[in-house]
Amino acid sequence: MSDPIKKITLKDGTVRYRFVVDIGRDPVTGKRQQKTFTFDTRREARVEYDKTRHKVNEGTYIRPSEVTVDEYLDGWLEGATRDLRASSKRSYRDALRPVREQLGATPIQKVTKADIERMVTWMQTEGRRRGGKPGTGLGPRSVRLTLGRLTAALEMATLEGLVARNVAKLVKPPKYKPAKPDTWSKDEVRLFLLKAKEDRLDAAWRLTLYGLRRGEVLGLRWDDDVDFGSFANVCQKHEIKWCADCYVEGTATMHVQQARVLVEGKVLIVPPKSENGFRKLPLDLAAASALHTLKVKQAEEKLSVGEGYRNSGYVAMDEVGEPVHPEWYSDEFGRLAKRAGVKRIVLHEGRHTALSLMEKAGVPISIVSKWAGHYDTAFTYSTYVHASDEDLHSGTEALGKLYG
């Protein structure tokens, strides 16, 4: 067998040692591929030849590629987000914007740990493009999210044999401690709901404080999702309809089947986040009455507006039948809280408030979790159930009773 390492002499008389290795077929074209290596000494060439042949035989050889980070991320995102909701797809794309801006044109095989470290520094000092003053630094949560997505993409590239190792794993993410959600006490909830009774969307605000997500409240439809149960029947005792005195608690229900969410400035109709998100919740008299009052009000508005009334069919509609915008709903929640004289919390913290108060009231966590549409009681506990400083008094009282 002839020696694969050939001695060659260049025009200037310099001696080099060269070999050619068959590295398999191109995965796209199917054509046979070869790679040429050239070294100053026969010994260097021999070491590299043996190492390369071993990798080729094992299937661990990394074929040279000019695929850029941008090009690879396009394909990776296609598969990684195929089954995700539109809002989650946007989250992936947004997280990778800094990667594309700083490393997008770089061949993926040439990306180093140092490149990613420089990207992280840039993000922390001047990487903000929106959601604040452009050119300022991004917070640790944003940086960690970007690193997480990039690490996942490079891990797949490693498994595909496109890169030798995942250099993003070598980069230490910045420390991040999530802010504890703020919640209302039951007295603050009562103050808010008392003020909300003056608002035409009283029913919607009550459902928000019953723990529904914003998109779930805004996605409720009268015909498909609200059933008034015994509240819809004529009361034989009083010979009237909508009899609060004879309402059977829980017979009216709301069926969570969809959500109206905001994604990249567009309002989309999406299914619940998971199978557990599809749920039928019983309504107490207060919620059923508020919904009935709103429905009557909307019927009056339809008559008043006439032909210009749209009647989109949603529970949360404006005076001309148009569904309310998600951003307006969040902002209006804050304005209503201010008028009620309670501390300012963001809309989603109303959900935290509801689930925390349910748990404190003695509702089993399995029921709280099912009410919320969660897949796991541990997630409900760790994410949505919060104790306040005032709650510590119950611990003191319990110890006092135990120890006498």
In 3D space, the residue among 209, 311, 220, 226 whose CA is nearest the CA of residue 260 turns out to be 220
Alpha-carbon span 243 to 10, nearest angstrom: 101
Q: What is the pTM of this model?
A: 0.73
Q: Is the pLDDT of residue 345 over 80?
A: yes
pLDDT, residue 179, reads 81
Q: Is the pLDDT of residue 288 over 80?
A: yes
Q: Which CATH number fits domain 186-396: 3.30.70.141, 3.60.20.30, 2.40.480.10, 1.10.443.10?
A: 1.10.443.10
Across 50-69, average pLDDT: 79
Q: Is the pLDDT of residue 255 over 90?
A: yes
In 3D space, the residue among 137, 88, 404 whose CA is nearest the CA of residue 274 turns out to be 88
Alpha-carbon span 35 to 45, nearest angstrom: 13
Q: Name the one residue in this structure whose structure tokens are 């989309």.
A: 268
Percentage of residues of the chain with pLDDT beyond 90? 61
Instruction: Assign 231 a pLDDT band (cuts: 50, 70, 90).
Output: low
Question: Which neighbouring-strand residues pair with 260?
Answer: 269
Lowest mean pLDDT segment, chosen from 68-77, 204-213, 265-274: 265-274
Across 330-337, average pLDDT: 96
Alpha helices in 226-325 (DSSP H): 285-305
pLDDT, residue 338, reads 96
DSSP label at residue 324: P
Alpha-carbon span 69 to 216, nearest angstrom: 37
pLDDT, residue 146, reads 96
Among left, alpha and beta (phi > 0; psi -120 to 50; other), residue 239 is: left
Q: Is the pLDDT of residue 234 over 70?
A: no
Secondary element (H or E) of residue 32: strand 32-39
DSSP label at residue 68: B
pLDDT, residue 32, reads 78
In 3D space, the residue among 82, 83, 18, 90 whose CA is nearest the CA of residue 261 turns out to be 90
Give the CATH class of 69-170: mainly alpha
pLDDT tens digits for range 196-213: 999 999 999 999 999 999
Q: Is the pLDDT of residue 193 over 80?
A: yes
Task: Name the strands in the sheet holding 226-227, side by side, starting at the edge strand that comes first in the sequence.
Answer: 226-227, 253-256, 279-282
Q: Is the pLDDT of residue 399 over 70?
A: no
Across 151-177, average pLDDT: 91
Percentage of residues of the chain with pLDDT beyond 70? 89
pLDDT, residue 326, reads 95
Q: Is the pLDDT of residue 238 over 60?
A: no
Q: Is the pLDDT of residue 57 over 80?
A: no
Instruction: Assign 26 a pLDDT band (cuts: 50, 70, 90).
Output: low
Q: Name the one residue in this structure whose structure tokens are 């969809």.
A: 258
Is the pLDDT higher at 56 or at 160?
160
Burial code of 335-374, b = ≥16 C-beta within 10 A, e = fewer?
ebbeebebeebebebbbbbbbbbbbbeeeebeebbebbbb
pLDDT, residue 208, reads 97
